Amino acid sequence: MQEKVIANRYQLLDLLGEGGFGSVYRAYDMQNKQEVAIKILHFDANKKPEQAQRFQIEAHITAALQHPNILRVFELGQTNEGKLYMVTELLVGAPLDEILTIQVLNLPQTFYVLRQATLALKDAHDKAVIHRDIKPGNLFIHKEGNREVVKLLDFGIAKVLHQDQKTLTGQLFGTPYYMSPEQIYASKSITKASDIYSLGAVAYHCLTGRVPFDGDSQYMILNQHINSPLPQMGKISPLLDHPALQSFIEYLMAKKPEQRPQDATVVLDKLNDLQRQYPHWFEPIPTFLTPNLLNQLKTKAAHPSQTAAIMDHFAKTDVGQEKSPFHESDDFESEENTSQTPAINVAPTLNQAKFYETIEEKITKRKKSNWLQIAILVFSFSSLLFYWLQEQDQSSKKIVNTSLTQTINQMQKNLDAPIVPLLMEDAFVEKMPELTPIENEQTEPDLIFDQNPENLKHLQSM
């Protein structure tokens, strides 16, 4: 049974969300006289040290960043039952992924989200932290007084550069719809540019209402990230048919990391350039949390207070929530029990070796299949060509034979007597009787036509 007061300080008020790893509560900080959110793991930290370590890494990294666009962490502790907990600011609003299920963002809204998310990333990148899971579910539109602020959440799989950092052994982290190509191959050289790629994928989703690459399986989605060009946004909506806009998103989502902005600072510079050239893309300052939107969110939510709660990697209930695509099929199985798998906002994990080998095997099989198909086509074409040449040769012979037969028949009709062609072969000529030569008669080189009736009778009797 869950304690009602944590650390003699935080009084639990109500449950905001629950998942496989833990629960999120709205609580009252009796010391600072303010409401907060508390994330409490379901299990004893000593029984699952790897998951507990990830939870601690998230708390320490997030607490160290301290930026207006990053969720604030106040405290990390352990309950009397041995469960880890994290105290954070209480967010009021809605996560971006839920908003996108209801409406597509316009240009000012998209660039507002993009700029604030980039500011959060700049602070992280300046401190040598790579988030590695930028997606709409980790961007929260928070109502702060009279303004709306974008908050970056979930540094649970963040990587600290130039520092030895343990992760779950043999696991690959990320969300397929927004993963950079180098993340897919679990490259050790993942850089800040990986976050930029994911940020570009989020911007594409905001503008078009759909993810850049989709498919019936994880493999199809990931393969497109690696090999397929970015679909033209102008074909989805005429309002997005602008070369500068398409070029900007393609710049963020270049396949090769070195062809993208290398960190968030470069993205901010590019955003400033675009604002100078196209100020109407950034104005007016947008509003997201309209009464109409909040009513629709409350209607969809299993618990009305979810729209006024922090939504992080295990804060969502299973009701009405989209599951991670990694749980849709058996192509790639997580090594963890599905009953303990976090909801959509947690970065899905895969066995890295199995995943990489599966991708390589499928690519190799496809290449072999392509070569086999080419070989079959070449063989088929050669066979058809050989058959055609044979047919042409037979047709030519038939034409010659037919022409010769017609000539003989015609001459026979003209002479009103049978005509026998005699081939000029030595073996046959020796057996021939002496024939009366025909004077002044033009004959074909290979044929002799004897018009002497006596000789014709003699030939017929042979």
Q: Which residues are catalytic?
A: 133
**DSSP symbols for 434-456:** P----TT----TT------HHHH
Contact of 320 with 297, CB cutoff 8 Å: no
Q: Determine the 3-state secondary structure of 87 from DSSP.
A: strand
Residue 17, classified by CB atoms within 10 Å of its CB into exposed (0-12), middle (13-18) or buried (19+), is buried
Distance (Å, rounded) from C-alpha 110 to C-alpha 99?
12
Q: Determine the 3-state secondary structure of 14 from DSSP.
A: strand
Task: Please state whether the peptide bond connecting residue 49 to the residue before it is cis, i.e. omega within 30 degrees of 0.
Answer: no
Tell me the CB-side half-sphere exposure of residue 181, using CA atoms within 13 A.
17
Kindly report the length of the chain.
462
Q: Structure tokens of 365?
A: 């099989």
Distance (Å, rounded) from C-alpha 433 to C-alpha 443?
19
Q: What is the dihedral of CA 312, 318, 322, 328, to 10 degrees?
A: 120
The whole-angstrom distance between residue 76's C-alpha and the CA centroid of its chain comes to 37
Output the CA torsion sign for 265, 266, 272, 275.
negative
Alpha helices in 209-287 (DSSP H): 218-227, 243-252, 264-277
Q: Which residue, 210, 262, 217, 216, is CA-closest to 232?
A: 210
Contact of 319 with 40, CB cutoff 8 Å: no
Q: Structure tokens of 287?
A: 């509003």
Determine which helix (DSSP H) or strand (DSSP E) holds 229, and give its type and residue range: none
Q: Structure tokens of 70?
A: 């990053």
DSSP lists the bridge partners of residue 40 as 23, 85
